Amino acid sequence: MPSDLVSRPRLLRRLDEWAGLLCVVAAPAGFGKTTLLAEWASNAGGGRVAWLSIDEAAAEPSVFWAQLAAVLGAADAEEATLADVVVLAEHSPAEALVLDGCERIAGSRAEAELWRFVAERPPLQMVLAGRGEPSAPLAGARARGEVLELRAADLRFDREEAQELVGRDAEECAGWPAALRLALSAPSERAWEEQLLELVTEEILRRPDDRDFLLHTALLEELSPSVCDVVLESGGSEARLADLERRQLLVERSGEGGRYRLEPAARRVLAAELERSDRPLASRLHRRAAAAARSAGRVEEGVEHLLACGDTAAACRTVTAVWERVTDRGGQDRVLDWLDRLPQGGSDIRLALARGWLLRLDGRRPESERWLDQAVAAAPPGLRPTVVRSCVLARAALAWDDVGQALTLARRAWRTERDGSRRPLAAWALGWASWWSGDLEAAAAALEDALDGPQLIEVCALAVLARIHLETGDLDLGEEHVAAAEQLVAERGLGGLPQLGMVSTARGAVAAAAGSAADAATPLERGIRLRRLWGHPLETADALSVAAPVIAKEQGRRAAGALLAEARRLVAVCADPGVVPDRLAAATRTALPRPGSGASDGLTPRERAVLELLAEGRSKREIAQELHVSFNTVHSHTKAIYRKLGVSSRHEAAERASQPALR
């Protein structure tokens, strides 16, 4: 892999989680197909991914099958045929097969036989990468959900990745002209670091005492005189820092309390030089810094120092104590990084539970399941009921693609947690599952109970409540709740979290219900982008469904149709999508109305009566009393009305009721 590799975690995750037979990676030259797959294969571990880089000679079937047999481990591959490779695939230790450079055999007999091999459905995840389109039609495989396609649009770098690729040193230079000039002229990142270190140590910090002081304190994020004294086990840091600032030697004041900041790029190269030149000393300094950070209550900084000095036992204890608090402040990525740097084995139940929760929140469900199961398996008999309860709550609070199972787990979690400290989490689980099942009253009641929970739960609960109020025709209350959610996101610096994409979708839904498609488009598109990043199928399908009618107005039927088609693909692979298909159908009728369809779409007299009362603002219970029927009957009539009119809220139904065709 290239030395300046820019990792693509969102694409690697899609490859990891793909359980189908076939993956096609098709894009022009220079889009990073081979690099992406090389990183994926490297992450998978030795032997799990077989790889064949195809050359032109492989257009001859005998050459192709000989090469393929060789990469699958055949002892004598020279005379291998299609039938031989099918048998080899059955017994190969590899779990996946990458065929890179498929364009080199395009149109050949070898390519035709390759698709016969794919049709045999070998027990391998097949990854075909190339610059051209596959010759075999993929429509049937797409319809069956058996193919993952990554194309140029998927492989393009987003803004952050592009910045990492073309200017990975720009942010760390922090506008320092000398560092930027060196970054632009140096032939490699390593050369840039060496040149910058030479500049810092030989041209700027000429006095040995200045150089030693900053070299030994560069591991600190902030240069506090008291902490520097602890780390160096000496006094006088306050005077030295003031002197360095006065002489403008890379140190400047940072905030109040006599704290200082070392130029970021200089700190980077000095810290790296300390680790390289005297690792034992660096470890001792990190250990002292960890103790100082712990005394000052800066636990996150303390964890970093413990990991840096290799004290994984102390790091484990600290992470298990603080991970929930850090996560609730939006720091789940940082905690996941800690967990990745801690030993992966062992029998620490609390760490296994933390991994299970965090990986699930990050959208990595298979890995989460493995760690939750490991926690239960490692628990002693006396502790097992408590661990099982935590696992049930994790699966309920972060349900995935099975609404029926989510509701069952949520009810179970509610029974065991409603009188404890995790009541808001259980309430959220019950409210979220009820929302996906279509029971809006139960969802609203539970989500109100979840508002006392962690801030991520509070924000999510407000967003879903806003949607529920729209469904029941209360636009003002919907606006109130989504505004509250947005305020919390802004105050707590949670913007950009994929798990909070539902807030953007709720804002767009409120704007659309208020009649402003133009104002709705931007938040709806942001909601789609964030929820795609998270990868939750129901959440993403919901974002697409809500956006489609607005996109149809703003960008046309084709753009809306693409969103709806993506939503249908997501819903199709869900074990139990709840009411999402109904919502998707309603969105489709609104976004893509059939020419010449009647406005009433066959409302019965009873449904007309219910619609008129809904338009008057009556509640469902009031309508039930007026018509002398049960609440459930009114609820069923309301769902039928929404379906027939192609609407998704009381507000939209009332608008349709005012049309002449329904009078």
Please check whether residues 499 and 636 belong to one and the same domain: no
If we measure between CA atoms, which residue out of 409, 474, 412, 458 comes closest to residue 436?
A: 409
- The domain containing residue 500 runs over which residues? 399-591
Beta strands in 19-118 (DSSP E): 22-26, 49-53, 96-100
**Burial grade of 441 (CB within 10 A; 0-12, 13-18, 19 or more):** middle
Q: How many CB atoms lie within 10 A of CB 140?
A: 10
Number of domains in the chain: 5
DSSP state of 402: B
Asked whether residue 598 is assigned to any structural domain, the reply reads no
pLDDT at 175 over 80: no
The alpha carbon of residue 612 and the mean position of all alpha carbons in its chain are separated, in whole angstroms, by 43
- Indicate whether 621 and 649 sit together in one domain: yes
User: What angle, 0 to 180 degrees and rounded to 10, lies between the N-to-C axes of helices 82-91 and 109-119?
Assistant: 40
Same domain, yes or no: 254 and 308: yes
Task: Output 230 or 650, whichever has higher pLDDT.
Answer: 230
Nearest to 128 by CA among 645, 144, 110, 143: 110
Q: How far is CA 449 from CA 353, 399, 414, 424, in A?
A: 25, 19, 11, 6
pLDDT at 601: 57
Q: Which residue has the tokens 């929140």?
A: 361
What's the sign of the alpha-carbon dihedral 258, 262, 264, 270? negative
CB atoms near residue 225 (< 10 Å): 19
Last residue of a domain, one of 591, 617, 637: 591
Task: Report whether pLDDT(450) > 70.
Answer: yes
How buried is residue 168: exposed, middle or buried, by Cβ count under 10 Å (0-12/13-18/19+)? Answer: middle
The predicted-structure confidence for 365-394, as pLDDT tens digits, reads as follows 899 999 999 999 999 999 999 999 999 999
pLDDT of residue 408: 95
Q: Is 69 helix (H, G, I), strand (E, B) or coil?
A: helix
Q: What average pLDDT does range 609-627 have in this prediction?
A: 86
For the residues 84-102, what does the mean pLDDT come to? 89
Residue 4: its pLDDT value, please?
54
pLDDT of residue 343: 85
Angle 411-412-418 from CA coordinates, rounded to 5° = 80
Summarised one tens digit per residue, pLDDT across range 95-121 is: 899 999 998 898 899 999 998 998 888
Closest to 540 in 3D by CA, of 498, 488, 589:
498
* Residue in the block written with tokens 């000398």: 178
Asked if residue 2 belongs to a domain, the reply is: no
**DSSP string of 383-394, one letter each residue:** THHHHHHHHHHH
φ/ψ of 8, rounded to 5, equals: -120, 70
* Res. 600: pLDDT tops 70: no
In this predicted structure, the answer to whether residue 596 has a pLDDT above a threshold of 50 is no
User: How far, in Å, CA of 572 to CA of 540, rounded?
Assistant: 13
Q: Which of 418, 429, 445 is nearest to 394 (CA)?
A: 429
Same domain, 209 and 310: yes
Q: What is the pLDDT of residues 566-590, one digit of tens each?
A: 999 999 999 999 999 999 999 998 8
Q: Residue 212 pLDDT more than 70?
A: yes
- C-beta pairs of 103-106 under 8 Å, 24+ apart in sequence: 103/130, 103/131, 103/132, 104/54, 104/55, 104/56, 104/58, 104/59, 104/130, 105/54, 105/56, 105/58, 105/59, 105/64, 106/130, 106/132, 106/135
User: Measuring CA to CA, how many Å separate 251 from each of 66, 292, 435?
Assistant: 64, 21, 54
Q: What is the mean pLDDT of residues 86-91?
A: 88
- Give the Cα separation of 624 and 450 in Å (integer): 29
The answer as to whether 596 is a domain residue is no
Q: Do 97 and 225 fall into the same domain?
A: no
Same domain, 321 and 428: no
In single-letter form, the type of residue at position 222 comes to: E
Band the pLDDT of 146: cuts 50, 70, 90.
confident
210 within some domain: yes
| CB crowding 359-391: b at 16 or more within 10 Å, else e | bbbbbbbebbbebbebbbeebeeeeeeebebbb
Could you tell me if 109 and 192 lie in one domain? Answer: no
Neighbour tally for 413: CB within 10 Å: 28
- Whether residue 382 lies inside any domain: the answer is yes
CATH number at residue 80: 3.40.50.300
5-19, 308-322, 330-344: the lowest-pLDDT one: 5-19
For residues 634-648, give the mean pLDDT.
82
Residue 122 lies in a domain: yes
Q: pLDDT tens digit string along 215-260?
A: 999 999 889 899 999 999 998 999 999 988 877 788 888 866 678 9
What is the C-alpha to C-alpha distance for residues 497 and 278, in angstroms, rounded to an integer? 39
Residue with tokens 């150089």: 211
Domain-embedded: residue 600 = no
**Residue burial 184-220, b: 16+ Cβ < 10 Å; e: rest:** eebeeeeebbebbbebbbeebbeeeebbebbbbbbbb
In a domain, 547, yes or no: yes
Closest CA to 348 of 304, 302, 325, 314: 314
Residue 545: give its domain's CATH number.
1.25.40.10
631: domain CATH number is: 1.10.10.10
- If asked whether residues 188 and 149 sit together in one domain, one would say no
Q: Among 53-67, 275-289, 323-337, 338-352, where is mean pLDDT lowest?
A: 338-352
In this prediction, what percent of the chain has a pLDDT beyond 90? 47
* 228 and 377 housed in the same domain: no
Q: Which of 250-254, 573-577, 596-600, 643-647 has the highest mean pLDDT?
A: 573-577
The residue among 537, 562, 591 that closes a domain is 591
Average confidence score pLDDT of the chain: 86
CA 163 to chain centre: 20
Structure confidence at residue 259 (pLDDT): 87
pLDDT tens string 379-433: 999 999 999 999 999 999 998 899 999 999 999 999 999 999 999 999 999 999 9
Long-range contacts of 55-64 (CB under 8 A, 24+ apart): 55/101, 55/104, 56/104, 56/105, 58/104, 58/105, 58/110, 59/104, 59/105, 59/108, 59/109, 59/110, 59/111, 60/108, 60/109, 60/110, 61/109, 61/110, 61/113, 63/110, 64/105, 64/110, 64/113, 64/114
The residue type found at 357 is: W
612 lies in the same domain as 583: no
Q: What is the pLDDT of residue 30?
A: 55
Last residue of a domain, one of 591, 625, 640: 591
Average pLDDT over residues 145-153: 82
119 and 191 fall within a common domain? no
DSSP string, 526-593: HHHHHHHHHT-HHHHHHHHHHHHHHHHHHH-HHHHHHHHHHHHHHHHT-SB-TTHHHHHHHHHHHHSP
User: Mean pLDDT over residues 135-141, rounded?
Assistant: 80
Alpha carbon distance 272, 282 (integer Å): 10
- pLDDT score for 256: 66
Distance (Å, whole) CA 45 – CA 54: 22
Residues 144 and 188 reside in one and the same domain:
no
Q: Where is pLDDT greater, at 516 or 161? A: 516
User: Of all residues in the chain, what percent carry a pLDDT higher than 70?
Assistant: 90
> Is 80 exceeded by the pLDDT of residue 514?
yes
